[in-house]
Structure 1
Amino acid sequence: MPRLSRSWWDWLFAIAAIAGASVLVLISLHNFPSEAQPPQNRPIQSHVAGYVSSNACRSCHSGNYTTWHASYHRTMTQVATPDSLPQNMDQLQLALNGTEYKVEHRGDAFFVHKRREGASYGDGQQIVLVTGSHTLQVPWLETGQGRTLEQFPFAYIVAERMWAPVSQTFLIPPDIKEYYSIGAWNGACMDCHVTQGQSRFVEGNRWDSRVAEFGIACEACHSEGAEHIALNRNPLRRFKIHLTTRSDPSITNPARLKAPDSALDCGQCHSVWAFNSMTDKIDFNRQGSGFRPGKHDLAQRFVVQPNTQDHREQKDFIRRTEPDFFGNRFWGDGMVRVTGRELNGVQASPCFRGGQFSCISCHEMHLYPAESAALKTWARNGQLKPGMESDQACLQCHTDMTTRLVAHTHHAADSSGSRCYNCHMPNTTFGLLHAMRSHQVSSPTAREGTDYGRPNACNLCHLDRTLSWTAEKLHQWYNQPVPSLSQDDQTIAAAVQWLVKGDAGQRALLAWGLGWEPAQKIAGGDWFYPYLIYSLTDPYAAVRFDAWKSLQTLPGFANFSFDFTAAEGVLSEVAARAYEKWLRDVRSPSATYRPETLLDSDGRLQKDIFQRLQSERDDKRIILSE
């Protein structure tokens, strides 16, 4: 028998591997996960033309599947099961606005029974879906109207392991007791919480909603997989592509797209968008999104940038029909102020105009190696690439800054003031009960506070300094013009003004910001107590929540218990006790306070000035609902 050369053995092994992969592909296709007998009481995963689900990708792309499976994209929407819902659901009893709720566990299903106070519990409504798993989880109930869903009026705050009314887990005016109506998931939430959803409005309040896959799965970013799988049943084709450096044209790889198109892949969900026309809205409702990864626009939709000249007719229509639309989503200069809408910031960044900057400049959808511990950290940290939580995120492009960092920042190299993110992507967006970094790369100015209401990066660290101090530093270091400033801006710390007389969005950012460790180290936390305790009684529940969590970061209050959803009278009593605790047990008798903080030497607020600021509070209605 002739001896086979090493190259022949290599070919045989390659062919065997290809054949094995082909078998796995066929198996995965055979297991397409459309439900054999789909339930009638909720949206279903159904066959959508061209989509094959993540299960079909798993056999060939097991590493990618593993990293995706560990991400919060996967669990954006899940069918309600004992594994996907919070623990101890069967022991849950809650009350809100005169209605009591009790959860019953039957087999693998959970049912919510309701009753008005003093009456008997009615028949149960099954919990059929749950959205979220990272910060908040919101269950959705069957309604008896086909696949139409009703929101359970409580959300589970994951970090606190507590339930709270949904209306108090977003920054929403206190008079709004129920935020989402029946059918809201079908008509709105599913637009970004599933892969290729079809709302399919029927009539009245009835929907027949279907999805290619629950959660954000492979085909949301790579487009339909059916053609890709069919073509790659041919092992020779796969081997030929494997031997080249070109991408397989039958599937989209966002990493190989031009930066604007790659960013749009994320922005199909992570943006403030609107429909081009009513016709497009109806088509989106019936057929799902016409956008496919790799395309240059969102098809039936467009990304809403308030101050650009595109889509003027549509934006004028929005201004006429929804007067608060822009104010509830953008700062006065057009910078986005709600979380989850990062593409708006990316597109408005000078880096983006260079043509190379996109979401995956800093983030990645698949982490390698896919080790369990590393995956958990990666998922919690916004799927940042290794090293991208540091200055390296900016220095990968701005390489010249490496040698002149201190000259540029005017701060010590190891100072938080020399961290690129803190100055150029400060925490000025809000949602899901916390502040997040703006994704519009910008430079701090004093004018953004006076003209547009947005806290600037300098005063978000130097919480004890005035806006005038910031303006002078920016003029001295970067030759920025000093704007005309009020007497308060010259004498009262900017943070104090935003926290006391700002609008609800500003107050929420500062309530969170007083718990931010870099700011505490720079501004000192001794004077934070009275302001955080005062904020425990804010009309907006989200502000109260963040004031509570920030207060817990300060000495003496780590175990401070507080129900941020309590009635106004209870909140006032708890705040009064907390203030007395600080004065009696925590405050140092030798502590001194900068005059800009409005605290006297005994730690008490300067009453006349403080009350005047209170009377000037901006009480316009704000909805920052993410």
Structure 2
Amino acid sequence: MPRLFSIRAVWAVASALAAPAFGQESPDTAEVPAYVGTETCIECHEAEHESWTGSHHDLAWTEPNPDTVLADFNDTSFTHKGVTSRFTREGDTLFIESDGPDGKITKWPVAGVIGITPLQQYFVETEPGRYQTFDVPWDTERNEWFHIYAEQTLPASDAFHWTGPYKTWNNRCAECHATDYWRNYYAATRTYSSTVSEIGVGCEACHGPGAAHLEWADEDGAALPDWPRPGLGETGLTIDYSASDPETEIQQCAGCHSRRGPLQDGSPVPGTPYHDAYRLSTLRPGLYHPDGQILDEVYVYGSFLQSKMYAAGVTCSDCHDVHSAQNHGEGNGICLACHSPAGNPDFPSVKLAEYDAPEHHFHEPDSEGAQCVSCHMIERVYMGVDGRHDHSFRIPRPDLTIATGAPNACTDCHAEEGPYWAQAEIEKRFPDPVNRAPHFATTFAAAWKGDGTVADDLVEIALSDLPGIVRASALETLVPFATPGHAAAVAGALEDPDPMVRSNAVTVQRAAAPTDMVQRLLPLLDDARRAVRQAAAREMLAAPIASMPARYEAALTSAMSEWQETLAATADFPETQLVLGGIALTTRNLQAALTAFRESVRMDPQMVQAWAMIVRIEAAAGRMDAARETLEDALRVNPGDPNLEALAAQL
């Protein structure tokens, strides 16, 4: 099947990455002003600095010293699942002693401090330049050590062990705890040379690099040549926050407060559109419940996008002080700023009514049940002790609990009474069924169980006026069931205003006839957002194309180049190696596929899909002994896995 030279070029780079033999350098930032540090901002922004000092952003990452460390390192210990960790000090140096990557008890100096409350976590340098977050943090409210995953037994051979790839500070955490962070992973040596302008979330993490802003402030902008400069606002910053543009603020906050995959190596310059820097996770099993409520730790943005608040133009700063990270008001006060008989002129669509009254919440005034968040922002605990609120601001739906198993706020407290009781109470107290309309949850729940009969319903959801993240999730869920007819039905979603919808509509086109798919996807190769361009490029990899108009060929080459950059930037992710193996199979480069899949299982021995592909490739090549040996290795670290056992029965 003929392919364009640009697709061959993608595999040339991808193959080298899988080898591994490629190092990702920090991008050339010559056109971006220099970072100058938070201390430089204080003179003119003293009040903001005072508010920020001591905040979660300020203390997101600090050096270990007596002023920052809250835990007891005076020869204390904690035992979890038979492993005893010790916390000691020698002079000013703190040490953690626990099971290392080889399972042996090893001692490391503490290299960094993470956070301030309700827990404080620590990381150590297990190899030169590689930092791992330790799974036994300090509970700052109970003043004791605890294990984040108390119910799990995670030996050193498990990828989710604290020394594994999913706990590497460099690639899973640091970007959102720092200012101007670059991962700089060298696949050839499997090492990091990470850099940062400032640890902690400083002024420039949200406002952009400040060198040009200092010039503007010194000269009041009047005597500067060529001002404003390209890519900068009137005051010399890369981002300007305006009350008339809520989306800029929301997307800037979302860069860290979301569950997403990165499209580049490190911190995007503030002002970079979200979908140029990340792929936002959809509502999918394991992350969300079928109705969109939070399940795993998804960090707010995906929830907020589902809300009427977001649709009405509410921004993060309407509820939270952006410098102190504290709420505007306590208790119900923050909600009553808009949801009251007086209302808020900034949001005239809000219904004027008395909400802070028993006639609405049916609980004793000032009780926990009378709190707005108790019913409309359910709380779930992550990292053992850290309660997070769902930001979709939903009305309790016990009927969806009955239909799908999704939780509801009523039975969070009234667990013994159960969802049928709760539903009866809701119907009695709120007889108007307007808020109990049919919900996408029932369709998602069925599809997640493999019921392809709901495919037409997924199309209907994708083409509805529901929030973009819901429609995008319907498109992603549709993929395994899609027919050419479904692909044609959702082709209009490729032009949707929401980049998340467009990028997920791309994947559905796999079900279309090749010529239809190519014609529909070609325009998206130069889409305004990188996430969409890359989605289109991925699908074009297997397209039967011999030639195309020069404009599209240039767009394809550019989109493929961007995809190369993402693959290079995330070469330290087992998931990326799995993708590289898939690319190699598509291009019939079996040796490169083996290399990528082997690198994936080296990083993550629980990556069963990669093990299975290695076994199949070896068997297809007639190397049965190698296939059996690989399968034995896979079952040794994944005993009883049904997919591997089924594969064993075939050999």
Correspondence list, 1:218-367, <5 A: 218-235=203-220, 237=222, 248=235, 250=237, 252-254=239-241, 256=243, 258-275=245-262, 280=263, 284-285=264-265, 288-293=266-271, 295-306=272-283, 326-339=284-297, 341-354=299-312, 356-366=313-323
Pair 478,423 (structure 1): closer, same or farther in 2 beyond 3 Å: farther
| Structure 1 partner of 2:529 | none
Does residue 60 (structure 1) correspond to residue 44 (structure 2)? The answer is yes
| Structure 2 partner of 1:458 | 410
Does residue 448 (structure 1) correspond to residue 400 (structure 2)? The answer is yes
Post-superposition offset of 1:359: 1.2
Post-superposition offset of 1:216: 1.3
Choose which of 323, 327, 330 in structure 2 pairs with 1:384.
Answer: 327
- Structure 2 Cα separation of the partners of residues 227 and 439 of structure 1: 36
Does residue 129 (structure 1) correspond to residue 82 (structure 2)? The answer is no
Post-superposition offset of 1:364: 0.9
- Structure 2 Cα separation of the partners of residues 62 and 252 of structure 1: 20
- Structure 1 Cα separation of the partners of residues 43 and 241 of structure 2: 21
Correspondence list, 1:452-531, <5 A: 452-476=404-428, 477-480=430-433
Choose 330-339 or 177-186, whichever is displaced more: 177-186
Pair 253,176 (structure 1): closer, same or farther in 2 beyond 3 Å: farther
* Residue pair 1:223, 1:292 contacting (<8 A) in 2 also: yes
Post-superposition offset of 1:407: 9.2
CA RMSD of aligned residues (A): 3.8
Correspondence list, 1:392-403, <5 A: 392-395=336-339, 396=344, 397=347, 400-403=351-354
Paired amino acid for 2:419:
L
- Structure 1 Cα separation of the partners of residues 403 and 241 of structure 2: 38
Q: Secondary structure at the match of 2:209?
A: coil
Does residue 84 (structure 1) correspond to residue 68 (structure 2)? The answer is yes
* Residue pair 2:74, 2:89 contacting (<8 A) in 1 also: yes
Pair 424,94 (structure 1): closer, same or farther in 2 beyond 3 Å: closer
- Per-residue displacement from partner, 1:289-347 (whole Å, max 9, x unpaired)? 33523x442423132233xxxxxxxxxxxxxxxxxxx3332112233334461111111
* Residue pair 2:357, 2:365 contacting (<8 A) in 1 also: no
Pair 222,186 (structure 1): closer, same or farther in 2 beyond 3 Å: same
Q: TM-score, structure 2 length as denominator? A: 0.52
Q: Secondary structure at the match of 1:361?
A: helix
Pair 448,218 (structure 1): closer, same or farther in 2 beyond 3 Å: farther
| Structure 1 partner of 2:143 | 161
- Per-residue displacement from partner, 1:57-86 (whole Å, max 9, x unpaired)? 112111111111120111111122222223
Correspondence list, 1:33-48, <5 A: none
| Structure 2 partner of 1:541 | none
* Residue pair 2:139, 2:385 contacting (<8 A) in 1 also: no
- Per-residue displacement from partner, 1:116-150 (whole Å, max 9, x unpaired)? 9xx9986x52211121211222221223x321113
| Structure 2 partner of 1:425 | 377
- Per-residue displacement from partner, 1:220-252 (whole Å, max 9, x unpaired)? 1111111111221115759xxxxxxx9745363
- Structure 2 Cα separation of the partners of residues 157 and 342 of structure 1: 23
- Structure 2 Cα separation of the partners of residues 430 and 181 of structure 1: 20
- Per-residue displacement from partner, 1:466-501 (whole Å, max 9, x unpaired)? 3222222333324339899xxxxxxxxxxxxxxxxx
Pair 410,104 (structure 1): closer, same or farther in 2 beyond 3 Å: closer
Q: Secondary structure at the match of 1:468?
A: helix
- Structure 2 Cα separation of the partners of residues 114 and 470 of structure 1: 47
* Residue pair 1:77, 1:193 contacting (<8 A) in 2 also: yes
Does residue 180 (structure 1) correspond to residue 162 (structure 2)? The answer is yes
Q: Secondary structure at the match of 1:66?
A: helix
- Per-residue displacement from partner, 1:416-475 (whole Å, max 9, x unpaired)? 555433322222564542543210011111233123433212223444433222222333
- Per-residue displacement from partner, 1:180-227 (whole Å, max 9, x unpaired)? 325611121113222221111124442111112111111111111111
Structure 2: tracts of 5 or more residues without a match: 1-28, 224-232, 439-651
Post-superposition offset of 1:165: 3.1
Pair 109,182 (structure 1): closer, same or farther in 2 beyond 3 Å: farther
Paired amino acid for 1:392:
L
Pair 52,389 (structure 1): closer, same or farther in 2 beyond 3 Å: farther
* Residue pair 1:425, 1:441 contacting (<8 A) in 2 also: yes
Pair 87,434 (structure 1): closer, same or farther in 2 beyond 3 Å: closer
Q: How many residues align?
A: 383
- Structure 1 Cα separation of the partners of residues 221 and 247 of structure 2: 34
Pair 444,141 (structure 1): closer, same or farther in 2 beyond 3 Å: same
| Structure 1 partner of 2:599 | none
- Structure 2 Cα separation of the partners of residues 428 and 140 of structure 1: 25
- Per-residue displacement from partner, 1:575-604 (whole Å, max 9, x unpaired)? xxxxxxxxxxxxxxxxxxxxxxxxxxxxxx
* Residue pair 2:94, 2:110 contacting (<8 A) in 1 also: yes
- Structure 1 Cα separation of the partners of residues 310 and 385 of structure 2: 29
| Structure 1 partner of 2:58 | 74
Pair 389,291 (structure 1): closer, same or farther in 2 beyond 3 Å: farther
- Structure 2 Cα separation of the partners of residues 420 and 114 of structure 1: 43
Instruction: Tell me which of the two structures has the higher relative contact order, counting C-alpha pairs closer than 8 angstroms and 6 or more residues apart.
Output: 2
| Structure 2 partner of 1:319 | none
* Residue pair 1:149, 1:182 contacting (<8 A) in 2 also: no
Paired amino acid for 1:79:
E
| Structure 1 partner of 2:517 | none
* Residue pair 1:228, 1:251 contacting (<8 A) in 2 also: no
Pair 483,431 (structure 1): closer, same or farther in 2 beyond 3 Å: farther
Pair 480,465 (structure 1): closer, same or farther in 2 beyond 3 Å: farther
Paired amino acid for 2:217:
N
* Residue pair 1:290, 1:298 contacting (<8 A) in 2 also: no
Structure 1: tracts of 5 or more residues without a match: 1-45, 239-245, 307-325, 368-381, 485-626
Pair 125,427 (structure 1): closer, same or farther in 2 beyond 3 Å: closer
* Residue pair 2:246, 2:315 contacting (<8 A) in 1 also: yes
| Structure 1 partner of 2:360 | 409
Pair 251,388 (structure 1): closer, same or farther in 2 beyond 3 Å: farther
- Structure 2 Cα separation of the partners of residues 115 and 260 of structure 1: 45
Pair 340,85 (structure 1): closer, same or farther in 2 beyond 3 Å: farther
- Structure 2 Cα separation of the partners of residues 107 and 332 of structure 1: 53
- Structure 1 Cα separation of the partners of residues 135 and 382 of structure 2: 22
* Residue pair 1:148, 1:182 contacting (<8 A) in 2 also: no
| Structure 1 partner of 2:549 | none
* Residue pair 2:73, 2:87 contacting (<8 A) in 1 also: yes
| Structure 2 partner of 1:586 | none
